[in-house]
Structure 1
């Protein structure tokens, strides 16, 4: 019986992880804080694709992650 609760806890945790990552991407794209928008990897990404495309990428990635997290969370409650 404990194994079932452990599997559900892991399933819930990855759903919440998707939600947190999605909110992180949306927050970083909308507010553009210095620690997010000007770090080394993101600057390289922005220089290659441009600011508008990087902004669109992070918005879309955030929406997809939030949608995936909500889908997985609702899937646990429905089935």
Structure 2
């Protein structure tokens, strides 16, 4: 994960928090709308940056070294590949 990916993730989270404070959602559907609005802010920033630089923000690298990764098993679906 690149530094730009981390920054855009932080922007999405911070934007969602601010929209949530403004709208004060009370139901799950409203929370979903708020999350989409917050994520959209980062999505627009990502697209604009990619257009300006001519390259993708998303990188092939992973933030964690291979030995630090953990596998999480899905307790609800045993057919899901782990």
**TM-score (ref. length: structure 2):** 0.39
Between Structure 1 and Structure 2, the one with more helix by share is 1
- Structure 1 length as normaliser, TM-score? 0.40
**Which structure is higher in RCO with an 8 Å CA cutoff and minimum separation 6?**
1
